[in-house]
A and B are shown apart, each in its own frame.
Chain A
Amino acid sequence: MPPVISDADLWSEMKSGSEKAFSSLFMKYHVSLVSYGKSITQHHYIVGDCIQDVFADIWLYRKTISTPDSVRAYLLSGLRKRIARKLERDQIFKHATDIEHVEFSASFTILDELITNEEMRSQVTYLNAAINQLSPRQKEALYLRYYHQLSVDQIAEMMQMNTQSVSNLLHRAIKQLRNIWKGEIPQLMILLVLTHCLSTDV
């Protein structure tokens, strides 16, 4: 395996003109950016173009841009802005009547391989359904916070909210899930156990 070079090192090499470092960053983050882009707009055909624009700008302005705390956050944020701007512009030029927004519409999935038993599986399935019913903003915040491990500050900057609002958004989402966990799962379990017993009896 080739040695892993940190994002910060790649970034500074890129800034001093290394096409190789630029390409490495592109290769590293392209898939994540495509996924995120497709999660926040229904117009999938604009995503690839927007990603290219984000990277083209990075290269063209490499000498003057600063080094971000997190390259991942910088790219995700850049893509989000780019898509929002494009949707807005298209709306102006096409006089579209339906409002096109950036809205997180992807679903979370279950990490099936690491589920060890059936009880756990039914709990996780239930929880997953609950998570997917959260609001798009809550889901996006959860995704950025716990899938990409961005900081609350970075998410606030991206979603154009203040830091406290993002904290609240995340906190409420987790609390909602915990309530479900505390209130409804035991009942659900009883139900599941019952059906299980009944079905094995027959």
Chain B
Amino acid sequence: MKDRDNTTAPSLLYTIPTFQSTLIDLHRTKFPSVIMYGDASLKLVQHAKRTQTLPHLPPYQADLVRSITREVRALDASVQSTISTLTSGGTTPFDPDTHPGPAAKILTEYVVMRRNKRCLLAYHRVRAQRVDESVWKGVDLLEANAEGGAEENAGKGVSSGDGNVEGALSPEEEEYARAYGELVAAYKGRWTDVDLTGALEPPRDLFVDVRVLRDAGEIQTEYGAINLTKNSQFYVRQADVERLIAQGYLQKLS
């Protein structure tokens, strides 16, 4: 009996791997097509990690988020039905000691649900922080991303259709970005003299040399109006043009 088992199955299966990851790797090499609980979450967290180092926000992973939410709902349904059968529809209390098997199953499913929730929260938080940053910098994220995507496409020499230009934000994120913009504006309103979105570098000089990178139209300063046309150069008060520098219309010359 024992001998037969050893010949039919690889002996590796009989050694208990020390690390969970080894177990998972083993599982994958043996059954490459099997999808495990938490696979989608893992991918999402990897996306989040990658997002932190990217210069522009990558597109929202709507499909992944949806499949994780589905997984959670399926797990919840499974937990509910297990409990319901074992307690005969809620009439008797569930005792883990008499049903150790189902109890372990419920625990596993519950832990996976909680893990999925954490992964989703982490992913959304990383992205929300990027949205916050861009609001403070005064960058329009939709615009910036359309450009970033276009450059990327040009670099690769492929046009992937309208997919990238549509923007990297989900509709919910767009809504959040708009609302957060209003919130920041409201908080800034209390400190009109300070201009909270101004530069966080200590000021050195009152006046700076700037070169105009993109046409920015005419601006009003205390010393009269200046017409900012492309490639021209001005010596202006830094406070007057700070926003334009941040938005990339002007370049500061040192």
* A and B from one complex: no
Chain B residues with CB under 8 Å of chain A are none
